Amino acid sequence: MSELLKNPGWKVTFAGTGINLALGVLYTWSIFQAVIVESITRGDGLFNWDRASVGDPYAVACLVFSFAMIAAGKTQDRYGPRVTALIGGVLVGLGLLLISQTTSYFLWVLGFGVLTGAGIGFGYASATPPALKWFPGGQTGLIAGLVVAGFGLAPVYIAPLATFLLAKWGLSGTMAFLGIAFFVAVSLLSRFLKNPPEGFVPPTAHTKETRKDPLVEAPIAALASTVLSTRTLMKTSAFWKLWFLYFIGAGAGLMVIGSVAGMAKQSLGAAAFIAVAIMAVGNASGRIVAGVVSDALGRNVALAIFFALQSLNMFLAIPVLESEGAVAFFIVLSATFIGFNYGSNLALFPAFCKSWWGLKSFGLNYGVLFTAWGIGGFVMTRISSMLVAQTGSYVGSFILAGVLLAIGAVVALRMKTPETE
């Protein structure tokens, strides 16, 4: 334990986890969306939005989040993680404070979609890269999983807190409180983020430097020193295959996460936040488990496994969605498994990025790859909102996601690494 506390890398890792615990407010959107939908249904005049557009602030936030990762990656590589995290905290705070003062569709898209989305991108980009730089390649999956687990786990406390605040202060007061609280939390935790000194070599006490990563033929030590510019990697087929897989895995998961409270509302009523919170547990644990599995079996094998399981989950969830008065237990169970498999993406893809293209431009490289997460979330959420508005059911969205995930599992299993193309 004393060795653990003395290792600066662990302090950076847990600070990154803490920042992500604040920024995971994105995953509680379905709770706020349910309030907006109720207002539209009642016709009380507060939210005069089109029903098909209620998911737009969330969809735009996913899109802006991913593209902000590119700018954040450049900031990270040039100015370090502390400055990057602080920018994120300021933007998230401003975005939530803005929407606390209005019910305008445009300002919600601007506040939650653009400002909060960009802030989450900067904060998220500040957390994983510095943590990975303190550890050897054999622990990449585990460390990435621990850091991003905070983002997935956030709804466990934000969902019940937001539900309590909504009942006490309404939507406006809730957003104001969260905006101030998250700004303070991210600002304080940013002080613990730092990159290792120049020339630092990660300790290899728990891994063998010559151990083969099952994904590639090169030793892990050699992979860690690989240098490939962002412009060069974007010309490779390996990058676009990985981008396509990230688009599918993230898009399918974000589609469900953005609507889970609405799906659970009929069975759970005011306790619908429970489905959001339990889904978050699956989301967070999936990130850690996927990291461990990928370190043991190889990342392409792990990705294929989780994609196949997610595809199966989508099809198994359809009977639950179609049944009238679906049993709450099965809704929560489906949400948990979907969250678990979605979470695996957030551990596996940064590990791919580090192993394939090195650490020198990791922030920018992963930022470009991460655009697949945002575009996938935007496209799948928008399609889902339109299908639900037209049919009144989520079944079509789940069928589409299940088919895409099955295709992705096959692509992942057959995917070659840049070294063997």
CB of 279 closer than 8 Å to CB of 381: no
Average pLDDT of the residues in 54-60: 89
β-pair partners for 212: 219
CB-neighbour burial class of residue 218 (10 A; exposed 0-12, middle 13-18, buried 19+): middle
Does the structure show a pLDDT above 90 at 396? no
Identify the pLDDT of residue 54. 87
Q: Alpha-carbon distance 404 to 376, whole Å? A: 11
The yes or no reply on domain 9-197+211-420 and CATH 1.10.645.10 is no
The rounded distance, in Å, linking the Cα atoms of 392 and 394 is 7
Q: What is the pLDDT of residues 213-237, one digit of tens each?
A: 433 333 334 444 445 567 777 888 8
Under 8 Å CB-to-CB from 247, ≥6 apart: which residues?
372, 373, 375, 376, 379
pLDDT tier at 109, thresholds 50, 70, 90? very high
The proportion of the chain whose per-residue pLDDT surpasses 70, expressed as a percent, equals 83
Residue with more model confidence, 198 or 88: 88
Mean pLDDT of 328-337: 73
Output the 3-class SS for the chain.
CHHHHHCHHHHHHHHHHHHHHHHHHHHHHHHHHHHHHHHHHHCCCCCCCCHHHCCHHHHHHHHHHHHHHHHHHHHHHHHCHHHHHHHHHHHHHHHHHHHCCCCCHHHHHHHHHHHHHHHHHHHHHHHHHHHHCCCCHHHHHHHHHHHHHHHHHCHHHHHHHHHHHHHHHHHHHHHHHHHHHHHHHHHHHHHHCCCCCCCCCCCCCCCCCCCECCCCCCEHHHHHCCCCCHHHHCCCHHHHHHHHHHHHHHHHHHHHHCCHHHHHHHHHHHHHHHHHHHHHHHHHHHHHHHHHHHHHHCHHHHHHHHHHHHHHHHHHHHHHHHCCCCCHHHHHHHHHHHHHHHHHHHHHHHHHHHHHHCCCCHHHHHHHHCHHHHHHHHHHHHHHHHHHHHHCCCHHHHHHHHHHHHHHHHHHHHCCCHHHC
Average pLDDT value for the chain: 81
| Domain residue ranges in the chain | 9-197+211-420
Please say if the pLDDT value at position 210 is more than 50: no
User: What torsion, rounded to 10 degrees, do the Cα atoms 78, 81, 85, 91 define?
Assistant: 10
Tell which wins on pLDDT, 418 or 215: 418
Q: What is the pLDDT of residue 268?
A: 58
Q: Which of 393, 381, 402 is nearest to 316 (CA)?
A: 402
Residue 223 is predicted with a pLDDT of 42
Query: Which pTM value belongs to this model?
Result: 0.75
Average pLDDT rounded to a whole number, residues 31-55: 85
Alpha carbon distances (Å) from 337 to 144, 150, 256, 350, 406: 20, 18, 11, 22, 16
Q: Give the model's confidence band at 114: pLDDT under 50 very low, under 70 low, under 90 confident, else very high.
A: very high
Identify the pLDDT of residue 141. Answer: 66
The most confident of the ranges 66-70, 93-97, 231-235, 290-294 is 93-97
Please write the tens of the pLDDT for every residue from 124-180: 888 888 888 888 766 766 787 788 778 878 888 888 899 899 999 999 999 999 999
Given a contact cutoff of 8 angstroms between Cβ atoms, the answer to whether 37 and 54 are in contact is yes
Which residues make beta-bridge pairs with 219? 212
At residue 403, the pLDDT reads: 93
pLDDT score, position 420? 41
Across 79-102, average pLDDT: 95
Which amino acid, residue 116? T
CA dihedral 285, 287, 289, 295 (to 10 degrees): -160
Question: Residue 136 region, left (φ>0) first, then alpha (ψ -120 to 50), else beta?
Answer: beta
Place of tokens 């302090």: 11
Query: According to the model, what pLDDT value does residue 175 have?
Result: 95
